[in-house]
Homo-oligomer: A and B are copies of this chain.
Amino acid sequence: MKSINLAEKLETFSEHYKPRTVGQFNGHDLMVVKVKGPFNWHKHDDTDDFFLVLKGELTILLRDGSVTLKPGEMYVVPKGVEHCPVAEEEAHILLIEPQGTPNTGNVATAAAKVVI
């Protein structure tokens, strides 16, 4: 039995928008991701989208506004709601999604699942 140190996990890779799975919880993947620049507009029809900022700053654009998250701040994008994450500088994020959820909302363009 060992704790999962999120900062240590984040030190093991450098790519942006390529989540790493660091644990499982009730059928969900617990993932860390480094982000920089804009992602793409997408939605998940069947799952809410959980974001907790660990380092840096993340803005989540929504069709009717936006929300900016600093370290220790979280936001849940409800299922079916279009959103586009954007980070001016590199930011580190904890994501939680049901196992198998494509990060882009589309299996054809999604990042592969990588467990570390």
**Chain A residues close to B by CB (< 8 Å):** 1-7, 23-26, 28, 30, 47-48, 50, 52, 54, 62, 65-70, 72-76, 94, 96, 98
Contacts and interface: CB of A to CB of B under 8 A. Distances in A.
Contact of A76 (B30, B66, B73, B98): B30
Contacts of A48: 24-26
A4 B68 CA distance: 10
Copies of this chain, whole number: 2
A30 B2 CA distance: 23
Nearest to A60: B1
B1 A74 contact: no
Contacts of A76: 23-25, 30
